[in-house]
Structure 1
């Protein structure tokens, strides 16, 4: 009789796969046009791909274990897969921003600042209404997000988001065997 993997063991391979796909997309976009890394459509497309993959692998695992999975097992599988994916992606981004192209964070921070000011103006707020200190504080905050410390802090915050996403995925993936009801 074949022994099934625990949800944690089963989540390792999908987590690595999703993380590597995310990383490949990031590096492809970087080589095509690095300014696209901060565009909204890239983030949205990456999010859609991420959700499709996590649901695909979750359903695949559910099928492998007999077609039924309880909420706790679905949560463990989803959270571990998402966490591993996040670790791989974060390590790849650290490599990109700190080793491959150390000037990229400055470029992206400046573009993010310009996009933020343009968005404020589209809502009727003028950048001229902000003091130079406020603009410098905003710029520093954006730049800090691209530093090694900023990326690690971002990953720490992302773990909370990963748990929430895993709860949602688990609620959708769970399926109980109704034949066991009395």
Structure 2
């Protein structure tokens, strides 16, 4: 049971670290270029940050455990980091784009619509489909509480699947002779 509390405390501190990293990154993008929030490669940075910090937490938890580092301990370390980090990130994003600067949310939506239109045109989509898709996009507020909660849930599920696989690598098997 002591291992579980060690894992939880280590993972919680790394989760806070992840939340701060993602938040600082979001604020830097907000301050310097809102348009970059629509770029696909920005998601790659976020993905890498989540994985690196979660894996660091797993390694640190494994090192601190004084007995067998089970699959449960391994996944718990990973999951808590992702849960705390993404929760902080989504809360900050919601507050930033709904209360602090709602006009920025509209700007990001317009840039995302422009990018979607040009991508659909480059794939040769019919104009009526493009117009319909852009119209639907315009009706959505990606920064609404509902959409932030949905995004959080999907991100958590996505990262959890990855975490289940990574936990297999970090777990220790009981040796039987």
Q: Same fold (TM over 0.5)?
A: yes
For the residues of structure 2 that align with 1:30 and 1:18, how far apart are their CA atoms? 18
Deviation at 1:161, TM superposition (A): 2.0
Moved more, 164-173 or 130-139: 130-139
In structure 2, relative to structure 1, the CA distance for the partners of 1:133 and 1:56 (3 Å cut) is closer
In structure 2, relative to structure 1, the CA distance for the partners of 1:131 and 1:161 (3 Å cut) is closer
Deviation at 1:133, TM superposition (A): 4.7
For the residues of structure 2 that align with 1:63 and 1:112, how far apart are their CA atoms? 44
Other structure's SS at 2:172 match = coil
Aligned CA-pair RMSD = 2.1
Other structure's SS at 1:88 match = helix
Deviation at 1:132, TM superposition (A): 4.8
Deviation at 1:100, TM superposition (A): 2.0
Q: Which residue of 2 is the match for residue 166 of structure 1? A: 163
Structure 1 segments unaligned to the other structure (5+ residues): none
Deviation at 1:165, TM superposition (A): 2.6
Q: Does 1:154 align with 2:141?
A: no
Deviation at 1:168, TM superposition (A): 2.2
Q: Which residue of 2 is the match for residue 28 of structure 1? A: 28
- Cα deviation, 1:102-145, whole Å, max 9, x if unaligned, reads 1111111111111111111111224x2337555322322xx322
Confirm or deny: 8 A CA contact 1:82 1:166 kept in the other structure.
Answer: no
Could you tell me the TM-score, scaled by structure 2's length?
A: 0.87
Q: Which residue of 1 is the match for residue 51 of structure 2? A: 51
Could you tell me the TM-score, scaled by structure 1's length?
A: 0.85
Deviation at 1:17, TM superposition (A): 0.7
Confirm or deny: 8 A CA contact 2:15 2:81 kept in the other structure.
Answer: yes
Deviation at 1:147, TM superposition (A): 1.6
Tell me which stretches of 4 or more aligned residues in structure 1 moved more than 4 Å: 131-134
For the residues of structure 1 that align with 2:128 and 2:91, how far apart are their CA atoms? 39
Q: Which residue of 2 is the match for residue 129 of structure 1? A: 128
For the residues of structure 1 that align with 2:72 and 2:51, how far apart are their CA atoms? 19
Deviation at 1:162, TM superposition (A): 3.3
Structure 2 segments unaligned to the other structure (5+ residues): none
Q: How many residues align?
A: 175
Confirm or deny: 8 A CA contact 2:120 2:130 kept in the other structure.
Answer: no
Moved more, 167-176 or 43-52: 167-176
